[in-house]
Amino acid sequence: MYNVLVTHDLPGNYIDSINGINIIRRPEGEDANAWLLKNIENADGILITLNEKIDKNLIDLGKKLKVISTYSVGYDHIDVDYALKKGIKIGYTPEVLTETTADLIFGIMLAAARRIVEGDKIVREDKWKSGWNPEFMLGAEVHGATAGILGMGRIGNAILRRARGFNMDVIYYSRHKHDVDAKFMPLDDVLRNSDFLFVCLDYNKDTYHFMDMPKFKKMKKTAFIINGTRGKVINEKDLISALNSGIIAGAALDVFETEPIDNNNPLLKMNNVVLTPHIGSATDNTRKKMAEVAVSNLINGLSGKPLIYEIKK
């Protein structure tokens, strides 16, 4: 019987319906990484989230490990090259979360542009004293504005379709030109022309701090940056300086360099940013679909069948 370590309960409890595996769940309150380290030696498979760090040390300790199934589209928490070198299969959950994540990313963009969160606070905190007023809480116009997309993968493409629905002009920069209804441009032109810059790049060592001060300086002073993929693609210190000094106008962020965010992070005090707690894929339906895929990846990997979504290099 295969031993499988499961770090988090997943919506739908699909794993409970699987016969022939010994499911070992992390006890409540135990640190997931420490628990994995302690138990990896006898594990044939692991079902993890993006919180767990699967590094060389853990992989070396996992002498029987055949499959790593991560409940996420991102896999920057896994030493993929090393695991693959060891013949371990790696499953992940792309596609099923693309549209849901794009909805959230588009939503926080709208919230930042039209000051929705700020407005909500003013209403609740009884600070709405002026009534309707011609110059009260003016925001940035979305329709007709230029959306710039960095990275035309699945999520970039889903943002493009939403931007089109809002009658935005869409330009993009990507490693390759894609057959999409948007204008492919050199990076500098996308930075210079975007009113709303959506960062949809995969995170890896090449895209670490991709957005930094020199790039912010190329953007419009009126521009907003939106990030819902991985925090480390943006140099957050530079972003904070750019926002504080008026180099760009605002930001909408669902992801951060440190998660959960430190309570002394200057972003928390800024009115021109909208912040959400990494909830891009957080709908009941999508989280269930991700669970189905992650469990299938795990089981298929153990039984030598092709994974639904497998990371290959």
Residues near ligand GLV, by CB under 6 A: 50, 72-74, 94, 97-98, 153-155, 202, 229, 280-281
Options 278, 287, 292, 310, the catalytic residue? 278
Residue 51 vs 265, nearer CB to ligand GLV: 51
Q: Is residue 259 flagged as an active site residue?
A: yes
Looking up tokens 């990896």 gives 40
Q: How far is the CB of 145 from ligand GLV (least distance, A)?
A: 23
User: How many other β-carbons are positioned within 10 Å of the β-carbon of residue 158?
Assistant: 19
Residue 91 vs 280, nearer CB to ligand GLV: 280
Residue 69 vs 115, nearer CB to ligand GLV: 69
Q: Is residue 230 flagged as an active site residue?
A: yes
Q: How far is the CB of 76 from ligand GLV (least distance, A)?
A: 8
Options 115, 230, 236, 287, the catalytic residue? 230
Tokens matching residue 308: 């639904």
Angle at 67 between CA 46 and CA 14, to 5 degrees: 55
Cα–Cα distance for residue pair 86/9, rounded to 1 Å: 28
Q: How far is the CB of 261 from ligand GLV (least distance, A)?
A: 15
Q: How far is the CB of 284 from ligand GLV (least distance, A)?
A: 16
Q: How far is the CB of 151 from ligand GLV (least distance, A)?
A: 7
The pair phi, psi for residue 91, each rounded to 5°, is -105, 150
Residue 280 vs 301, nearer CB to ligand GLV: 280
Options 30, 41, 141, 259, the catalytic residue? 259
Contacts of 21 (CB under 8 A, 6+ apart): 1, 2, 3, 4, 45, 299, 302
Q: Is residue 162 flagged as an active site residue?
A: no
Cα–Cα distance for residue pair 33/299, rounded to 1 Å: 22
The pair phi, psi for residue 61, each rounded to 5°, is -70, -25
Residue 231 vs 242, nearer CB to ligand GLV: 231
Q: Is 95 left (phi over 0), alpha (psi -120 to 50) or beta?
A: left
Catalytic residues: 230, 259, 278
